[in-house]
Amino acid sequence: MQAIPAIPATLFLTAIFAVMLTVLSLLVSLQRRSAKIGTGDGDNIVLRRRIRAHGNFIENAPLLVLVCAVLEISATASSATIWALAVAFMVARLLHALGVLKIPVVGSQAVGMVLQHVAILIGAALLLRGLI
């Protein structure tokens, strides 16, 4: 029987984010190939959106994973709270990517960013509370 991982929410979040990052990267590569654009965005609006969806993901996802990992390792928050943050992070990143890619989900980009920022601030507050 396998041991239960010490940081299950972080492991799950990391796995989901790895898949999401791969999909976003593939979308950029496929559009580059289709538009025959090797570097930059070539003023191609679809490519520009895909590059930004990928870029914004990679700018934010590592911090989300780190916050989740430190919360789990330090036992600063309950398991339910950590899982709630992990799910919020995943939903936020998915909504934001859909919005940037202009996949019709009303207000998804803005909702995703607000949800992400709220979740990060809650995670930060929990980490700081653990120092007291």
Angle CA(39)–CA(45)–CA(49) in degrees, nearest 5? 80
Residues in the chain: 132
Q: Does residue 29 lie within any of the structural domains?
A: yes
Domain span at residue 17 reads 8-131
Q: Does residue 1 lie within any of the structural domains?
A: no
Domains in the chain: how many in total? 1
CATH at 47: 1.20.120.550
User: Structure tokens of 10?
Assistant: 């972080």
Q: Does residue 78 lie within any of the structural domains?
A: yes
User: For the whole model, what pTM was predicted?
Assistant: 0.87
Q: Give SS3 for 126.
A: helix
Query: What pLDDT digit, counting tens, does each position of 98-118 carry?
Result: 988 888 776 788 899 999 999
* Cα-based distances in Å from 46 to 35, 92, 97, 99, 117: 10, 21, 13, 13, 26
13, containing H or E segment: helix 8-35
Q: What residues have CB less than 8 Å from 120, skipping those under 6 apart?
A: 63, 64, 67
Q: What is the mean pLDDT of the chain?
A: 92
Report residue 1's pLDDT band, with 50, 70 and 90 as the boundaries.
low
Q: Does residue 3 lie within any of the structural domains?
A: no
By CB neighbour count within 10 A (0-12 exposed, 13-18 middle, 19+ buried), where does 15 fall?
exposed
Query: 9 with 3: CB under 8 angstroms?
Result: no
User: Structure tokens of 17?
Assistant: 């984010």
Query: What pLDDT digit, counting tens, does each position of 60-79 carry?
Result: 999 999 999 999 999 999 99
Residues 15, 131: Cα–Cα separation, whole Å: 29
